[in-house]
Structures are given as structure tokens and as C-alpha cells.
């Protein structure tokens, strides 16, 4: 007697004679949505900053690594309730230990997020949809004209990055990862963030940055980032990536 098994497909289908209906399962991240419901809500005080983050096509470990890199905090200080699907649109709570709200200004719109926004608002606009967001007792509604305006703004936005070298007097605030560069040619003062790798290189084996580094003229490497809309001026930000040499 021939044995049958569910594992090797030898069990016949009851509907083998019936034509299939066709279709696809989870062909895009928007086909599967996950909305995490926390066991408790933040009390409004303490050492943790809580964020509610919606991500698309991004795993939870990758989200933690990105937050760690952009905010300059250890991955161990970022808490999540569980791993959410990568190939989906998921919303979840994230806790940041010892992080102040002002630090969130370091989070920047990148090309991947901008592409997702363009695709999202195109989907809403083409479908004639409105959008209603509910968070606790608060509601936010995007009517048709709001969706159209959001799509127009997203489509007109472009992001560009380049590296350039400049010379000037460097001032650092290592604790907040901020810098000022006063160019020696009397050009505009550059202000922005410092990469974690740059700070590590400056410290070396010391606990703090040597005092002879700060307030001295250096040739430095900056990453210049422009977020531009066709109808307006570009928003420019600077990141200090390396102190090349004293001048």
C-alpha cells in the first residue's frame, strides 16, 4: 500500500478538479499591515523617550541600527516590544533610554523614505482616497485636497549629497555631537552634527577629546546635504566626518 504524506504533496487536493481563482499574496509591503498595541502607555516622565514609528520594508533590527547610527546612541539603549515583519507596513513603540527629545532633530529624510512617501501619496491620490489617523483620543484627517497637496510636495522634493573639504577653526560639543566651523576665508559659519566615527578617531584611547583639537584651524571634510523643492530654496545641512590635518 502506497503511503501518502502532507509533506511531499502526495495527498490529493479535494478541489483538484475546480479551476483556481488566481491572485497573489503579499506582493507589496502595503498588502500586510501590523499595528502594535502596547501593554501600557508612557506615564509622561522618567528616563525613557517613547516614539511611535511606522516603517515600510524595514526589519526591526535594521530600524534599531538606523536609530543608533543617526542619534549616536548605543543599540542596547533602544528598546522594542518584539520583531515586526520586514515586508510589511508596521507601526510599533520604541523606547530610547537617556535620549532627550531635542536629539530627534538629527533624524533626517533620506532617499528611501522619500521614495516611500512619494509612492504612498501617489497610491492615495490615484485611488481618490482620504486618510484618517487615530492616536488615542486624537484624530488627524487628510481630505482630498490635503492628499493632493502632499503628493505635489513629495513629488517636487529632491535630496542631494556631496562631500567637500573646507578650512577653518573648529569648535566641538562632543556630548551633543555638534560642531561649528569658522572658515578662515571669512565665509559663512558651518554648523551641524559630528559623526560617531569622527569623535572616536579624535578621542583615540583617551576618554575625552584633547584640548589642543578644539579652537584650532583645521582642514576638514564635510558631508553637505540638500533637501530641495522646485518652488523654494534648498534646506542645507552639514555633517563633520573628519578632521584631516592642522593648518
Q: What is the pLDDT of residues 130-150, one digit of tens each?
A: 887 765 666 778 888 888 888
Task: Note whether 202 and 213 are within 8 A (CB).
Answer: yes
Domain 28-106: CATH architecture, name and number where available: 2-Layer Sandwich (3.30)
- Which of 167, 184, 173, 172 lies closest to 221, judged by CA? 167
Say which CATH topology domain 108-155 has: CBS domain Like (3.90.1280)
Q: What is the pLDDT of residues 209-245, one digit of tens each?
A: 888 888 999 999 999 988 887 767 778 889 999 999 9
Distances (CA, A) of 10 to 4, 14, 164, 193: 5, 12, 65, 62
- Looking at the domain covering 159-246, what would its CATH class be? mainly beta
Q: What is the pLDDT of residues 35-47, one digit of tens each?
A: 887 777 777 778 8
Kindly give, in sequence order, each residue whose CB lies less than 8 Å from that of residue 116, ignoring residues fewer than 6 positions away: 56, 57
pLDDT at 189: 93
Domain boundaries, the chain: 28-106, 108-155, 159-246
Kindly calculate the radius of gyration of the chain based on its CA atoms and give it in whole angstroms: 25
Count of alpha carbons within 13 angstroms of residue 242, beta-carbon side: 6
CATH topology of 28-106 equal to that of 159-246?
no
The pTM (predicted TM-score) of the whole model is 0.51
Integer CA distances (angstroms), 226 to 86, 160, 232, in order = 29, 5, 12
Amino acid at each position: 500500500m502506497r503511503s501518502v504524506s502532507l509533506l511531499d504533496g502526495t495527498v490529493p487536493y479535494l478541489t483538484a478538479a475546480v479551476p483556481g481563482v488566481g491572485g497573489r499574496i503579499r506582493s507589496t509591503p502595503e498588502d500586510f499591515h501590523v499595528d502594535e498595541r502596547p501593554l501600557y502607555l508612557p506615564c509622561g516622565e522618567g528616563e525613557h523617550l517613547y516614539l511611535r514609528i511606522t516603517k515600510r520594508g524595514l526589519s526591526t533590527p535594521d530600524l534599531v541600527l538606523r536609530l543608533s547610527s543617526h542619534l549616536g546612541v548605543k543599540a542596547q539603549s533602544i528598546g522594542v516590544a518584539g520583531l515586526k515583519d520586514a515586508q510589511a507596513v508596521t507601526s510599533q513603540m520604541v523606547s530610547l533610554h537617556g535620549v532627550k527629545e531635542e536629539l530627534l532633530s538629527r533624524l533626517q529624510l533620506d532617499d528611501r523614505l522619500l521614495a516611500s512617501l512619494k509612492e504612498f501619496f501617489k497610491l492615495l491620490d490615484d485611488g481618490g482616497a482620504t486618510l484618517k489617523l487615530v492616536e488615542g483620543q486624537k484624530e488627524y484627517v487628510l481630505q482630498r485636497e490635503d492628499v493632493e497637496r502632499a503628493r505635489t510636495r513629495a513629488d517636487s522634493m529632491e535630496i542631494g549629497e556631496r562631500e567637500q573639504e573646507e578650512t577653518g577653526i573648529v569648535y566641538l560639543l562632543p556630548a551633543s555631537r555638534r560642531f561649528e566651523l569658522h572658515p578662515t576665508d571669512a565665509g559663512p559659519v558651518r554648523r551641524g552634527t559630528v559623526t560617531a566615527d569622527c569623535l572616536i578617531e579624535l578621542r583615540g584611547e583617551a576618554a575625552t577629546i584633547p584640548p589642543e583639537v578644539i579652537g584650532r584651524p583645521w582642514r576638514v571634510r564635510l558631508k553637505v546635504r540638500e533637501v530641495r523643492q522646485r518652488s523654494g530654496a534648498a534646506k542645507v545641512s552639514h555633517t563633520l566626518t573628519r578632521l584631516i590635518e592642522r593648518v
